[in-house]
Each structure stands twice: as structure tokens, then as C-alpha cells.
Amino acid sequence: MSAADGKPAGTSAGNLSVAMISSFPPRQCGIACFARDLSVSLKTVEPGCEVGIVDLEGTGGTPVDPGTVNVSSAEKSLQNWFQLNSDQRSSYRQAARVINLRRPDVVCLQHEYGLFGGPAGEHILDLVESLDRPLVTVFHTILQYPTRAQKRVLSALAEASAAVVTMSKTSVTTLKEIYGVPRDKVTPIPHGTPDADPALAGEAKRALGVEGETVISTFGLLSRGKGLEYALLALSRVVETHPNLRYYILGATHPKVVLDEGESYREHLASLAERIGLAGKVIFVNRYLSREELFAYLLATDIYLTPYLNPEQTSSGTLAYAVGFGKAVVSTPYVYAAELLGGGRGLLCEFRDPDSMAAQVELLVSRPDLSDRIRRQAYQWGRQTVWEKVAERYMSLFRAAVSEVRPVSAARPSIRPRLREGVWAQGAPGSESRATLLPTTAVRARQVPGGTGELSSSTPTTAGE
């Protein structure tokens, strides 16, 4: 039974009510799209499920991408419960009061540091400690070398949660050894992907007018952390022997990057492409793509590149989508890519190394048999990550969290005193921490937009980056 209200929950006898705390479309943010897709899929697999959105930044309105043409009935049925002003601390406790009054069976929090206000996004702790409902937290970034503040916030969220989710199995070990999170509290659930049909690739190529060409693509909002200059340098080597090549760089520039430096990074990439002989070979699609547009480009893609620079990146919606669409992928070996592309599902290249990347792209272009084998293995793997299957796993986890949590009639005790005392500063008792807490200035790649950490938290991509 649900705490304090006597309604059935957490069993097959009753439909769950879920509060989803996240950024949400029309905000252009990868996590917003993740939350939207998960919420819709929960409604798809269990039509009686109620999903209430606690939307960050007050985006409000119908939770639908502006560019979406067809809106499912499940998407229309999502409810906006509250608009949280992420920079206003009082808004967090107000959100918790609204959630408690609504009495959902479970609260699902999508966490990235920069989504929330305060040092390392600590304002979210005000909301969490005020909840009287079971909490499941999805960690989109799990740093191996956190700052002291980052470690404290993540550890506090994990302790307050009935269960936590990570999208990579590698991160399970990181959570235990660095943050002291018990292994039995962590559930790895892969990033969801659309249910794509590779047989439509030829039709997509014809629609784009690229039949007979090798189409390479990268999507997501532009920032220097994407490492696209290395992709350009690599392709300038490949095109010498394979001139029938076209590279699509899909997506607008990250809004924070535009505020800081305008379009200087995109202009640099365009100038570089011209200088190294890729004029006419590189196409910039400078806008935030609707799902229909994105799917069309992915279907037409032969080789997908993620030349990202941050080795700590523990999730990538763009990479998950590429694998789910059955694409041959070449990527730098950041944590998520090294795991996802294992078992013959893709090829890895060295960080910041155009020659290494060029060699892997050349191998795929010159070996159709290898490319086909990788595509088949990627697509086969992706069948287990279609959104409906992922939603079923979340639904099972939600039910387990509800059934295992003791009934609560009051908010959680404050976790602030323990944070101030620094309980987690040296790791949880009994854990063997591999990380030395570094000052912010010494943390590798911490401020790279589009990687993981502070800025990546709100990196708006079309998947969940």
C-alpha cells in the first residue's frame, strides 16, 4: 500500500503514479528529451500509469517539441504538476510540497549537476529532503574525479534514494568505490532508443539526395568538448582515397556557448573544413532538429562519429541512438563508448588523434563486410534498448522501490548537517576509494561544455547527452 494514503501501489493490482523531476521539452536539452521519451514510454507500456512532470526552468506548456508533427495520445496525457525555478532556492521546497500533496507512488529524479542551482547543484537537496514519497534517482553523469561538492551532492542523493539508476555497468563500480553507494542499491538500465527500421536507409538517402555516397554524421548541440575539429582532420585524410564522402554535422550551437562566444566554434570548424580540402564535403545543419528530421538523417548515415574529448563521460544519448539505429560507429574511448561499443558493436580510436580516427573510418569504408557485421551486431544489441523495453525495466524498478520502502508520513530528516560535517569527504566507511578529491582547478575536463560535469548537465542535445 502507498504510504499514509492506503491506495494500492507497487503491485500488479494498481497502476503507478510517477512524479518526473527533470528539464522537459520544449527546452532544448538532451535530458529533457530523455525524460519526455521515458515518460511517454511509461504510459505506452502501462496506459493507466499517471506521469506528472515537475519541469525545470519553468518551460511549461504542453510537453512537446515545437517541431513535432505527430503527438501520441500518451504524450498528450502527461500532466504538468509544477514549474521549478532552478535558480530560486525556495522553489525547491515548494515543488516538494506540491509532489507530497499529489501523493505519487514514486518520484523519479533525472540528475545532472548543472540542471540545479547552488554549488554543484546542491539546491536539489532541499527538494529531496522535503519529500515523503519513495525516490528513484537516475544519474546521467558519474564522475570518477569529482570535486568535493560534487561528491557530497551525489552521495547525499544516493543515500536519500530507494534506488539509483546508471546507464553504464562501469559506473556501478564507480558509485561503490568513489561515492560509497551499496551495490544492491544500483540498477544499470541502458539509455532508451527509438524503434528504428534499417531497411528504410535507402529511402532516407534518396530523400536527402545522397544515394551512392558514404554518409558520415555527428549530432548534438555544438561545443568545443565534442572534438569535431579532430573528426574534420581525420576525414581530410580519408577523402584522399574515398572522395565520395559526405559529413553531416547536425545541430545548433549549445546556448551557453552562444552566450559566451557566439558562433566562433562553428565558424572555426567551417574555416578549417575549407582549409583542409573538405569544402562541399561537410554540411552544417545549424538548427535543433525535430525527431522526424533526426531519424531521417540517422537512417541515411553509414558511419557515425563521436570524437568526444572527455574520458569520464558515462552516458551519451547520441551514441545510444546511433547504435540503436544499427550504425557503424567510430568513437573515442570515453567510459560509455568503451562499454557500449564492446563485443564488436563499433570501433574505438584515440583521443585527439586524427590519424587514429582516420584509420578506423578508412577500415569501415574499405571493408563493407566489416561495416555490415558491425551494423548487424549494433542493431541486435539495440533491440533490447528500445524505449518500451527500457520503460518496462523502469516500471519494475519503481514497483520494487515502492514495495520495499517503509511507509513514510513525514519528510526525510535533513541530510544537510551530515553534508557539512563532511561524512562523504573521505568516502563511505568501509569503501576503498580510488579517487583523491581534487580542487576544481585540477579536475580534468570538468568545465568542458558538452562533456560531463557542470556544463554538460544542461547540454541540449536531441537525445540525452
Question: What range does the domain containing 188 cover?
Answer: 17-192+387-458
Asked whether residue 377 falls in the same domain as residue 404, the answer is no
Which of 331, 361, 385 is a domain's end point? 385
Which of 385, 417, 445 is a domain's end point? 385
Asked whether residue 396 falls in the same domain as residue 376, the answer is no
Cα 444 to chain centroid, rounded: 20
Asked whether residue 358 falls in the same domain as residue 318, the answer is yes
Q: Please choose, from the candidates 431, 435, 434, 456, the residue with its C-alpha nearest in 3D space to the C-alpha of residue 445.
A: 456
Evaluate whether residue 3 is within a structural domain: no
Which residues, other chains included, contact 26 with Cβ-Cβ below 8 Å and sequence gap of 6+?
A: 59, 61, 63, 64, 65, 66
Evaluate whether residue 464 is within a structural domain: no
Residue-level length of the chain: 465
Asked whether residue 73 falls in the same domain as residue 176, the answer is yes
How many domains does one find in the chain?
2
User: The dihedral of CA 327, 330, 335, 341: what is its sign?
Assistant: positive
Asked whether residue 172 falls in the same domain as residue 263, the answer is no
Asked whether residue 133 falls in the same domain as residue 202, the answer is no
* pLDDT tens digit at each of 465 positions of the chain: 343 344 444 334 478 999 999 998 888 778 999 999 999 999 999 999 999 999 997 433 333 444 443 456 667 778 899 999 999 999 999 999 999 999 999 999 999 988 999 999 999 999 999 999 999 999 999 999 999 999 999 999 999 999 999 999 999 999 999 999 999 999 999 999 999 999 999 999 999 999 999 999 999 989 999 999 999 999 999 999 999 999 999 999 988 889 899 999 999 999 999 999 999 999 999 998 888 999 999 999 999 999 999 999 999 999 999 999 999 999 999 999 999 999 999 999 999 999 999 999 999 999 999 999 999 999 999 999 999 999 999 999 999 999 875 544 445 555 554 444 433 333 333 333 333 333 322 222 322 333 333 233 333 333 336
Asked whether residue 291 falls in the same domain as residue 170, the answer is no
Q: Nearest 5°: phi and psi at 159?
A: -65, -35
Evaluate whether residue 252 is within a structural domain: yes
* pLDDT at 74 (0 to 100): 64
* pLDDT at 414 (0 to 100): 58
Evaluate whether residue 6 is within a structural domain: no
- Is the link from the previous residue into 119 a cis peptide, with omega within 30 of 0? no
How many CB atoms lie under 10 A from the CB of residue 30? Answer: 27
User: The dihedral of CA 283, 288, 294, 296: what is its sign?
Assistant: negative
Evaluate whether residue 5 is within a structural domain: no
Asked whether residue 278 falls in the same domain as residue 213, the answer is yes
* pLDDT at 416 (0 to 100): 55
* pLDDT at 465 (0 to 100): 61
Evaluate whether residue 4 is within a structural domain: no
Evaluate whether residue 400 is within a structural domain: yes
Which residues, other chains included, contact 131 with Cβ-Cβ below 8 Å and sequence gap of 6+?
A: 96, 99, 100, 107, 411, 412
Asked whether residue 182 falls in the same domain as residue 123, the answer is yes
Asked whether residue 162 falls in the same domain as residue 255, the answer is no
CATH of the domain at 214: 3.40.50.2000
pTM of the model: 0.83
Asked whether residue 162 falls in the same domain as residue 211, the answer is no
Which of 385, 406, 431 is a domain's end point? 385
Evaluate whether residue 7 is within a structural domain: no
- Cβ distance 161 to 154 under 8 Å? no
Asked whether residue 183 falls in the same domain as residue 140, the answer is yes
**In the numeric block, which cell numbers belong to residue 98?**
506540491
**In the numeric block, which cell numbers belong to residue 266?**
562553428
